[in-house]
Amino acid sequence: MTKGTNSYPIHTITACHECDLLLRDKNVIRQRKTCCPRCGAVLHISCVNSMERTLALSLTGLLLVIPANTLPILTLELLGQSNTNTMINGIYQMAMGGYWWMSILVCFCSILAPTIKLLMLSFVSAGSLYGWSPRGIATALKVYQNLDEWGMFDVYMLGILISFIKMKDMGTLIPGFGLATFVALLLVATVSSTVFDKGLVWARLGSGSCDDEDVKEVNNV
């Protein structure tokens, strides 16, 4: 690594968001994956046809949301009685049992946050493809970034597996059609956020003004 001796225009430099190292931006968009040379944080991952793929996948995900939430995931049969679990009635049952805070949290992490994430992804990718208002796109993208770690489909999937194994000795467990749609939703949601290139969206939203300044002493990637 060398320290740049020349000065560079401010729009060609970037900084690592985890260690604040000042870096030249020349390769950040072109390479597939760029990491910070000092702390190793992933600065940017790009993907071919990112916006088109994200739009297709997030719309697919939105179609799957309602069946995954309302169709039975698991059914337990025991001594002639049976009980069915869907994502919604688990939350309802907990709220009825008096655990408000927990049911709100489970509802938020397993239904609301992932669904809003998919909505925002489809809005941002469609908006960026068809040139909608930059302000709306910026707001939607910020909502998506803030909700990112609160969407927990993957954790919920592991939860289904664990309750399946815990209960399998107790009675007969029948996986329902909701489980199949949930697995599909999990896959689509995960892939859509992997192919989504938010750096590209921000870059397309323009750089604002005041781009004529030069910055000295920049580190090279």
Partner 1 sequence: MSETGPMVSAKQQDLFLCHSCHKVQRNNRTSIQHCLRCGDVLHFRNRDSLTRTWALCITSAIFLVFANVYPIMTVIYLGKGNPDTIISGVILLAKHGMFPIAAVVFIASVAVPLLKLASLFWLLCLVHFKWKMDAKQCTKMYRMVTFVGRWSMLDLFVIAMLVTLVDLGGIATITGGPAATYFSTVVVLTMFAAHTFDPRLIWDLQVNDNEDENKK
Footprint (CB under 8 A) of partner 1, residues 148-167: 149-150, 152, 155-156, 158-160, 162-163, 165-167
Q: Which of 17, 29, 33, 177 binds partner 1 (CB under 8 A)?
A: 17
Q: Tell whether residue 52 is a contact of partner 1 (CB under 8 A).
A: no
Q: Which of 55, 65, 91, 188 binds partner 1 (CB under 8 A)?
A: 91
Q: Cα separations (Å) of 168 from 79, 141, 163, 178?
A: 14, 42, 8, 18
Give the nearest distance from C-beta 71 to partner 1 in angstroms: 14
Q: Which of 57, 118, 218, 221 binds partner 1 (CB under 8 A)?
A: 218
Q: Which is nearer to partner 1, 70 or 145 (CB)?
A: 145
Residues 20-39 that bind partner 1 (CB under 8 A): 20-22, 37-39
Quote the tokens at residue 216. Answer: 């000295």
Longest Cα–Cα distance in the chain: 80
Length of the chain: 221
What does the alpha-carbon distance between residue 127 and residue 76 come to, in Å, rounded to a whole number? 44
What does the alpha-carbon distance between residue 17 and residue 19 come to, in Å, rounded to a whole number? 6
